[in-house]
Amino acid sequence: MACALRNTQATGLRHRDNLLVNGLLTDLYELTMAAGYFETGRSAESATFELSIRRLPRNRDYVLLAGLEQALDYLLNLRFTAAEIDYLRALPQFALVSGAFFEQLRDFRFTGDVMAAPEGTVLFAGEPVMTVRAPLMEAQIPETYLLSTLTFQTLIATKAARMVHQAAGRGIVEFGTRRAHTPQAGVLGARAAYIGGCIGTSNAEAGFRFGIPAVGTSAHSWVMSYANEQEAFRKLQQVLGAHTVQLVDTYDSIEGLKQVAALGPPLWGIRLDSGDLIALSKQARTILDDAGLQSAKIMASGDLDELTIAELIAAGAPIDAFGVGTELATSGDAPSMGTIYKLVEVEGRYTAKHSENKASLPGPKQLFRFSDRDVVGLAKEPTPPGATAILQPVILKGALVAPPPALETIRRNAAESLRTVGPRPVEHSLALKELMART
C-alpha cells in the first residue's frame, strides 16, 4: 500500500499531539480521591484495579476487544501541565488540600504494572480485560480514560465483526465518520472497524495515521454540480481512472446506470445509495454485464447494518461491497456497554463490592481460556493444563514491555479469535470461589 510508509502505529507512542492525552481527561472525582489518598498518607499504598466486562452490550453474545494501544499510550504519557494544576488548585473541592499534593501532580508519572488481554480477543460477560497494579493514586486516576477508550473501540470492533460475518466474504468499508461522536471517534472508530474485519475506511486521517486502506467513491454533490449527469460521470473517470466509483442514484438509479454503462471503462464500479437494493443491484448487474462491464463492482450503502446485509445476501443481491456508516460508527443498536474498573486489592487485602446487581469480585484475576470454556481465576494461580492465560504483561514499572502489534497483526488475530472462540460458559476457579466466599 502506498500509505504503509506512514503507518506509525507500531509504537503507538507518537500521537500525543493529537490524541488528547492530558491529566484532566478524567472525572474530577478521580482527582479529588487522589488528593484524599495523598492527604491521608495512602497514595503510595499498593493497589490493583481491574477493568472488566460486567454486562455485554444489548444484542451481543460476545465482544471483540479493541483500544488497548490508545490505553497504553495514555498511561505512558499521562502528565499534568502547570495550567491544569492551577485550575485544580483554584477549585473549591481542593480548598483543604495541601500544596504538596499539587507538587506530586506536577511530577506525576505512571509507574505501575499493567496486564491486559490483547486487542482482537473475543471476550464475554464477567471476564477481566486489564489489571492495573500501581500506587493507589496512580491506579485511581486513569479509570475514566481507560474505560472510555477501551469500551468505545470494543463496541465498534464488535459491531464491525458482526457485519463482516453476515457479509459472507463480501467486503465492508467503514463510511461512518460523519456520524461518529466527534472527529476523534471517527478516526478511532475506523481503527476499531478495521480490527473487526472491515477492508477499509473513508476516513483520510485513519489512513494517514494507522495505514488503513482509505477508500472513497463520490458524493451526490459531484453529480449535482454538473448540469448533465453523464458529464459528471465522464469527468470523474478522467480524474480517478480505474478507481472511479459512480454514484448512480442522484436522480434515478436505472437512468444513472445506463449512462455509466454507455460510458464504459475505466471504472472500478458503481454505488447504490437508496431504493430497493435487491432489485436495483440485480438490474445493475444486468446493465453492466450487457455493456461488457463484467468486472465492474457493485457497492451498496444507505443505513445498512448486519440485519439488512444478511437480508441482501440471502436474497441473492449481486453486491460486491457494502459501505456502512451510521450504525457502525455509533454501534447504533448498542452504543454503550457495562465495563467497570474496580479496586480488587489494596496492600494485600482483597476487596469486593456488594451493591445490589452491581457486585464486583475480589482479587487480581486471570482469564484462563480452554477450547470450550473460559475460567476466571486468580492471577496467582498457575495456568491449568490445556488453557491459555489471556492477560499478559504490557507495562511493567511504568515502561512498555510489549509494544502493540502492527494493526494488520491485530486484525489477523481478531479474525482467528472470531473463528475459534465460540459461545462458552464462563466459570470461576475454585480459588476464586473460595476468595469470594471469604470477602
**Grid cell in block for residue 266:** 475505466
Taking the complex as a whole, how short is the minimal distance between the CB of residue 372 and a second copy, in angstroms? 33
Report, in Å, the least distance between residue 388 CB and a second copy.
29
Strands 200-201, 388-389: pairing is: unpaired
Could you tell me the smallest distance in angstroms from the CB atom of residue 37 to a second copy? 7
Angle at 212 between CA 122 and CA 129, to 5 degrees: 25
Find all residues with CB under 8 Å of 78, minimum gap 6, and list them.
Answer: 21, 22, 23, 108, 109, 110, 141, 142
> Closest approach of Cβ 423 to a second copy, in Å?
25
Identify which of 209, 74, 208, 203 has the alpha carbon closest to the alpha carbon of residue 138: 74
Cα dist from 310 to 64, 168, 313, 415, whole Å: 20, 9, 5, 19
Q: State which residue, 37 or 368, has the beta carbon closest to a second copy.
A: 37
Q: Which is nearer to a second copy, 23 or 120 (CB)?
A: 23
d(CA 63, CA 66): 9
118 grid coordinates: 490483547
| Residue closest to 304 by CA, chosen among 153, 152, 163, 156 | 163
Q: Which residue has the cell 448486519?
A: 306
Residue number, 194 or 368, with CB nearest to a second copy: 194
Least CB distance from residue 292 to a second copy, whole Å?
23
Q: How far is the CB of 191 from a second copy (least distance, A)?
A: 11
Nearer to a second copy, 359 or 399 (CB): 359
Closest distance to a second copy from the beta carbon of 384 (Å): 29
Name the DSSP letter for residue 213.
P
**Is the CB of 230 or the CB of 274 nearer to a second copy?**
274
The nearest distance, CB 424 to a second copy, in angstroms, is 27
Judged by beta carbon, residue 30 or residue 374, the one nearer a second copy is: 30
Cβ contacts of 324 within 8 Å, gap of 6 or more: 163, 172, 173, 174, 175, 176, 198, 301, 304, 305, 309
Kindly tell me which of 200 and 387 has the beta carbon lying closer to a second copy.
Answer: 200
What's the rounded Cα separation, in Å, for the pair 319 and 35? 58
Give the C-alpha separation, 134 to 60, whole Å: 33
Give the residue with the Cβ less far from a second copy, 169 or 227. 227
| Sign of the CA dihedral with 72 first, then 76, 77, and 78 last | positive
